């Protein structure tokens, strides 16, 4: 009987010592974020970047704010094969309890019409206040880039870009 009681106490102690799995929700994302991305894009249409079908390197930086309702907005800059494109993005963020989610947004590149239909999948680390995302849909390219997001403030506030 003593062995059973000791085994039960040991099991209870071990279970209470294990950390809980992170639970994420809209509050896990609220605030201001900085973003950097690196990768390639295969463009599906001809443009200032050249002919359709070319695989071109892309890098980018940006800032964004995410509010309590999951709305995301902010400016940034992409450099595509040496061409600089400033943009504004706006959309929504959906996060699951397992800290995975989607960012659905449109971008407005200066000098171009609004481009809806961008989607990124992400994984959030709520302890480190970081996200890693991969672009899975773009209206002008087959995206192959990864972005790293870092929360700069837990408070949503307007963001600006030079």
For the chain, domain boundaries: 22-153
pLDDT (average), residues 129-136 = 97
Backbone angles phi, psi at 60, to 5 degrees: -165, 160
Terminus-to-terminus CA distance in the chain, angstroms?
Answer: 72
> Could you tell me the pLDDT band of residue 7, with boundaries at 50, 70 and 90?
very low
Query: DSSP letters along 88-136, please?
Result: EEEEEEEE-TTSEEEEEEEEEETTS--EEEEEEEEEEETTTTEEEEEEE
Mean pLDDT of the chain: 88
Q: What is the pTM for the complete model shown? A: 0.82
Pick the CATH number of 22-153 from 3.30.2450, 2.40.128, 2.20.25, 3.40.50: 2.40.128
**Is 50 exceeded by the pLDDT of residue 35?**
yes
153, 66 Cβ separation under 8 angstroms: no
pLDDT (average), residues 23-33 = 93
pLDDT (average), residues 88-115 = 95
> Could you tell me the pLDDT band of residue 108, with boundaries at 50, 70 and 90?
very high
> Could you tell me the pLDDT band of residue 30, with boundaries at 50, 70 and 90?
very high
What share of the chain in percent tops pLDDT 70? 86
- Which of 70, 77, 113, 108 minimizes the C-alpha distance to 92? 70
Among 14-18, 32-36, 107-111, the range with the most confident prediction by mean pLDDT is 32-36
> Could you tell me the pLDDT band of residue 159, with boundaries at 50, 70 and 90?
very high
**Is 50 exceeded by the pLDDT of residue 38?**
yes
Looking at the DSSP assignment, which residues form a beta bridge with residue 18? none
50, 125 Cβ separation under 8 angstroms: no
Give the pLDDT of residue 88.
Answer: 96
pLDDT (average), residues 123-137 = 96
């Amino acid at each position: 009987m003593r062995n059973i009681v000791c085994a039960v106490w040991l099991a209870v102690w071990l279970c209470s010592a294990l950390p809980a799995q992170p639970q994420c929700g809209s509050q896990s994302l609220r605030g201001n974020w900085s973003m950097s991305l690196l990768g390639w894009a295969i463009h599906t249409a001809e443009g200032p970047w050249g002919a359709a079908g070319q695989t071109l390197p892309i890098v980018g930086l940006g800032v964004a704010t995410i509010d309590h309702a999951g709305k995301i907005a902010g400016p940034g800059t992409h450099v595509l094969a040496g061409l600089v494109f400033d943009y504004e993005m706006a959309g929504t963020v959906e996060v699951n309890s397992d800290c995975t989610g989607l960012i659905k947004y449109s971008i407005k590149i200066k000098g171009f019409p609004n481009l809806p239909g961008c989607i990124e999948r992400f994984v959030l680390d709520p302890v480190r206040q970081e996200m890693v995302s991969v672009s899975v849909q773009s209206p002008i390219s087959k995206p192959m880039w990864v972005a790293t997001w870092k929360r700069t403030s837990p408070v949503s506030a307007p963001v600006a870009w030079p």
